[in-house]
C-alpha cells in the first residue's frame, strides 16, 4: 500500500471515526482515573485529568496511523498493526508524560508532582489503558468485518435465489413456443419461419438480461415487446398489446423478467382460451419514489377465457417473492379480477408497487 497525503476513507469519515472512538477512549480513561483515585487516594480531578492526557496520547499515536492507512472496513497487516501498537505506545507514553509534567507544573496547587515521583506506577496504568483500548477496538473491528461478511453472504444468497426464480420462469414459455413451432413446420412452413425469427429476436434480447441481476425498466419493456411479438406470430389478430412507459420511469432499475410471468399469465389464462382474443396493456407510472407497474388483460371472459385467479400459482408467487427479495416487505402485488365474467372487455389487473432503489446490487460475477 502506497503512502497517501489523505485518509484512505476520506477526511470526513476519518474524522468522524476518530472522534467517535476518542469518545469511547475517554470513557475508558475516566474509569482508569477513578481506579487511580480509589487505589491511591489521590485527588479525583487530578487523576481524571492525568488519565485523559495519557490515554488520549496513546490513542492518538496508535489509532491515527491505523485509521489513516486502513480505515474502518479494512484489516491492517499483522506486522503493521504490531508496529503501530509498539511504536505508538512508546511515543504515546512519552507524549503523555510530557503533557502531564507541563500540566502539573502549570497547576502546582493541585499538587500533581506525586505522579512524577512514581513513574513506574503511572506507566503501568498507562499500559493498562492502552491494552484495554486495543482489545476493545480489535474486538469491535472483528465484529464489523464479520457483519460485513455476513451481509455480503446474504446478498449473494438473495441473488442466487433470484437466479433460481428467473430460471423457473423461462422454460415454461419456451416449451410452449417450441411445441407450436413443431406443429407449424410441416403444415405452415412460412409461419414457422416467422415464428423462428421472432424466437431468435426474443432470445437475443434475453441474453443481456440473463447476464445482469438488474436492468432499466426500458430494457424490461423491450424484452416484453419481443415476447409479445413472438406470441403474435402464434395468435395473429387475436392478440393486441400496447405499452405506456413515461420517460421518468425508463431508467428505474428492476430485476430482469419481473413482468414477464404476469404477461405470460395474461396470455395463458386470458388471450389463449378467449375465442376473440383480447388486449394486454403494460403501464408504468411514478409518484416521487413510488413506482406502479400494471399488467392489464382485456378479454370477454364469457367467450371461453378463464378467470385468472388460477394464475396465482407459480408465476405470481415467484413475482411476489422476487418483489420482497429485491424491494423489501413494503413492496406489494395486488390482483384484481372482473366481477362480471360476461362483460365485454372485462379486465383483469395485476399491480406491482414498490419504492425505487437508489443503488442496485452489482451483477453476479
The whole-angstrom separation of Cα 25 and Cα 58 is 10
Cell numbers standing for residue 357: 432503489
In this prediction, residue 360 carries a pLDDT of 45
Q: What is the mean pLDDT of each run of 10 residues along the chain (365 residues)?
A: 63 83 82 78 78 81 81 69 73 76 57 48 62 67 70 63 54 75 85 85 73 86 90 87 96 89 87 87 94 90 50 70 85 84 75 79 43
Are 252 and 218 within 8 A, CB to CB? no
In this prediction, residue 122 carries a pLDDT of 57
Q: Is the dihedral of CA 352, 322, 277, 307 positive or negative?
A: negative
The whole-angstrom separation of Cα 182 and Cα 311 is 26
Cell numbers standing for residue 96: 503523555
In this prediction, residue 180 carries a pLDDT of 82
In this prediction, residue 104 carries a pLDDT of 58
- Classify the phi-psi angles of 306: left when phi > 0, otherwise alpha if psi is within -120 to 50, otherwise beta: beta
Q: Can you give the residue ranges of every domain in the chain?
A: 11-151, 188-355
Are 135 and 295 within 8 A, CB to CB? no
Partners of 351 in the β-ladder: 294, 334
Q: What is the DSSP string of 134-154?
A: HHHHHHHHHHHHHHHHHHHHH
Give the global pTM.
Answer: 0.52
**CATH topology assigned to domain 188-355:** Heat Shock Protein 90 (3.30.565)
Amino acid at each position: 500500500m502506497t503512502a497517501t497525503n489523505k485518509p484512505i476513507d476520506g477526511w470526513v469519515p476519518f474524522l468522524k471515526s476518530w472522534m467517535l472512538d476518542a469518545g469511547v477512549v475517554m470513557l475508558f480513561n475516566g474509569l482508569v482515573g477513578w481506579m487511580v483515585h480509589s487505589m491511591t487516594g489521590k485527588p479525583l480531578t487530578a487523576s481524571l485529568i492525568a488519565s485523559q492526557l495519557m490515554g488520549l496520547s496513546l490513542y492518538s499515536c496508535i489509532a491515527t496511523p491505523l485509521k489513516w492507512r486502513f480505515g474502518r472496513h479494512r484489516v491492517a497487516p499483522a506486522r503493521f498493526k504490531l508496529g503501530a501498537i509498539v511504536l505508538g505506545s512508546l511515543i504515546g507514553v512519552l507524549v503523555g508524560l510530557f503533557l502531564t509534567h507541563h500540566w502539573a507544573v502549570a497547576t502546582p496547587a493541585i499538587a500533581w508532582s506525586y505522579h512524577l515521583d512514581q513513574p513506574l506506577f503511572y506507566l503501568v496504568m498507562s499500559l493498562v489503558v492502552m491494552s484495554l483500548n486495543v482489545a476493545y477496538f480489535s474486538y469491535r473491528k472483528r465484529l464489523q468485518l464479520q457483519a460485513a461478511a455476513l451481509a455480503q453472504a446474504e446478498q449473494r444468497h438473495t441473488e442466487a435465489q433470484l437466479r433460481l426464480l428467473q430460471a423457473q420462469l423461462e422454460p415454461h414459455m419456451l416449451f410452449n413456443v417450441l411445441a407450436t413451432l413443431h406443429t407449424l413446420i410441416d403444415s405452415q412452413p412460412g409461419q414457422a419461419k416467422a415464428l423462428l425469427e421472432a424466437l431468435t429476436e426474443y432470445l437475443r434480447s434475453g441474453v443481456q438480461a440473463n447476464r445482469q441481476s438488474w436492468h432499466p425498466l426500458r430494457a424490461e419493456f423491450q424484452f416484453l415487446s419481443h415476447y409479445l411479438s413472438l406470441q403474435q406470430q402464434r395468435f395473429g389478430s387475436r392478440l393486441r398489446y400496447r405499452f405506456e412507459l413515461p420517460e421518468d420511469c425508463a431508467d428505474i432499475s428492476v430485476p430482469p423478467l419481473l413482468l414477464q410471468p404476469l404477461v405470460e399469465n395474461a396470455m395463458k389464462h386470458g388471450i389463449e382460451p378467449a375465442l376473440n382474443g383480447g388486449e394486454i396493456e403494460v403501464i408504468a407510472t411514478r409518484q416521487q419514489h413510488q413506482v406502479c407497474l400494471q399488467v392489464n388483460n382485456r378479454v370477454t371472459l364469457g367467450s371461453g377465457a378463464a378467470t385468472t385467479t388460477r394464475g396465482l400459482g407459480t408465476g405470481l408467487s415467484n413475482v411476489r417473492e422476487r418483489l420482497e427479495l429485491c424491494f423489501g416487505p413494503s413492496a406489494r402485488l395486488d390482483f384484481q379480477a372482473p366481477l362480471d365474467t360476461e362483460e365485454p372487455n372485462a379486465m383483469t389487473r395485476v399491480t406491482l408497487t414498490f419504492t425505487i432503489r437508489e443503488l442496485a446490487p452489482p451483477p453476479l460475477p
